[in-house]
Amino acid sequence: MSELHTAPVPRRNLELVLLLLALSVGAAAFFLVGSSSDANDNTDFFVQTGILAGLALLMHIMLRIFAKYADPVILPITVALNSLGLAMIHRIDLAKTTDQSMRQLLWTAIAVIIAAVVLWAIRDHRMLRRFTYIALLASIILLLLPMIPGFGVTINGARIWVRLGPFSMQPGELAKITLSIFFAGYLSSNRDLILMAGRKLGPLQLPRLRDMAPMVVAWVLSIGVLVVQRDLGSSILFFGLFIVMIYVATARISWVLIGLLMVAAGGVFAATTMSHVTRRIDVWLNAFSPEIYQARGGSMQIVEGLFGMADGGLFGTGLGEGSPYRVPLANSDMIIASFGEEIGLIGLSAIVLLYMLLISRGLRAALGSRDTFGKLLAAGLSFTLGLQCVVIIGGVSRLIPLTGLATPFMAAGGSSLLANWIIVALLLMISHNSRRPMLGGVGPTDEVATPGAMTTKAVKNV
Partner 1 sequence: MNDLVLSLFRLGFLVLIWLLVLSIVGAMRRDLAIGARARTGAPSARALKKNPELAEPEVSTRKAASTLHIVEGPLAGRSIPLQGEPIMFGRAQDATVVLEDDYASGRHARLFPQGSRWFIEDLGSTNGTFVGDSQLTRAQPVEPGQRIRIGKTVLELKA
Q: Which one among 49, 101, 178, 188 touches partner 1, defined by CB under 8 A?
A: 188
Sites for partner 1 among residues 3-22 (CB under 8 A)? 4-8, 11, 14, 17-18, 21-22
Q: Which one among 109, 371, 397, 436 touches partner 1, defined by CB under 8 A?
A: 371
Identify which of residues 148 and 462 has a Cβ nearer to partner 1 in the complex: 462
Q: How many CB atoms lie within 10 A of CB 43?
A: 7
Q: Which one among 168, 190, 323, 397 touches partner 1, defined by CB under 8 A?
A: 190
CB of 211 to partner 1, least distance (A): 10
CB of 39 to partner 1, least distance (A): 11
Do 449 and 126 contact (CB within 8 A), yes or no? yes
> Which H or E run includes 143?
helix 132-144
Beta bridge partners of residue 302, listed in sequence order: none
CB of 281 to partner 1, least distance (A): 35
Sites for partner 1 among residues 443-462 (CB under 8 A)? 443-445, 447-449, 453, 456, 458-462
Q: Tell me, what amino acid is at 21?
A: L
The DSSP secondary-structure symbol of 148 reads: S
CB of 6 to partner 1, least distance (A): 5
Sites for partner 1 among residues 332-361 (CB under 8 A)? 343-344, 346-347, 350-351, 353-354, 357, 361
Q: Where are the alpha helices (DSSP H) in 297-334?
A: 300-312
CB of 371 to partner 1, least distance (A): 5
Q: Which one among 10, 28, 66, 168 touches partner 1, defined by CB under 8 A?
A: 28
**Kind of pairing between the strands at 152-155 and 158-164:** antiparallel
CB of 319 to partner 1, least distance (A): 7
CB of 118 to partner 1, least distance (A): 21
Do 351 and 80 contact (CB within 8 A), yes or no? no
Identify which of residues 22 and 158 has a Cβ nearer to partner 1 in the complex: 22
Identify which of residues 36 and 384 has a Cβ nearer to partner 1 in the complex: 36
User: Using the rule CB under 8 A, is 55 a contact of partner 1?
Assistant: no
Q: Which one among 10, 31, 39, 57 touches partner 1, defined by CB under 8 A?
A: 31
Sites for partner 1 among residues 218-277 (CB under 8 A)? none
SS3 172: helix
Stretch that binds partner 1, among 113-121, 169-177, 190-198, 230-238 (CB under 8 A): 190-198
Sites for partner 1 among residues 56-85 (CB under 8 A)? 72-73, 76-77, 80
Sites for partner 1 among residues 394-433 (CB under 8 A)? none
Q: Which one among 189, 273, 278, 294 touches partner 1, defined by CB under 8 A?
A: 189
CB of 53 to partner 1, least distance (A): 15
Q: How far is CA 35 from CA 32, 39, 313, 461, in A?
A: 5, 6, 22, 67
Sites for partner 1 among residues 273-332 (CB under 8 A)? 315-316, 318-319
CB of 366 to partner 1, least distance (A): 13
Beta bridge partners of residue 155, listed in sequence order: 158
Of 68, 190, 181, 188, the C-alpha closest to 128 is 181
Q: What angle do CA 351, 355, 360 make, to 5 degrees?
A: 145
Q: How many residues bind partner 1 (CB under 8 A)?
A: 74
CB of 130 to partner 1, least distance (A): 8
Identify which of residues 40 and 294 has a Cβ nearer to partner 1 in the complex: 40
Q: Which one among 303, 370, 394, 397 touches partner 1, defined by CB under 8 A?
A: 370
Find all residues with CB under 8 Å of 66, minimum gap 6, and list them: 119, 120, 123, 432
Identify which of residues 193 and 257 has a Cβ nearer to partner 1 in the complex: 193
- Torsion sign (Cα): 267, 393, 115, 129: positive
DSSP letter for each residue of 250-288: H--HHHHHHHHHHHHHHHHHHHHH-HHHHHHHHHHHTTT
Do 328 and 296 contact (CB within 8 A), yes or no? no
Q: How many CB atoms lie within 10 A of CB 433?
A: 24
Of 422, 417, 394, 398, the C-alpha closest to 406 is 417
d(CA 443, CA 149): 52
SS3 14: helix
Identify which of residues 400 and 448 has a Cβ nearer to partner 1 in the complex: 448
End-to-end alpha carbon distance in the chain: 33
Q: Which one among 91, 125, 129, 432 touches partner 1, defined by CB under 8 A?
A: 129
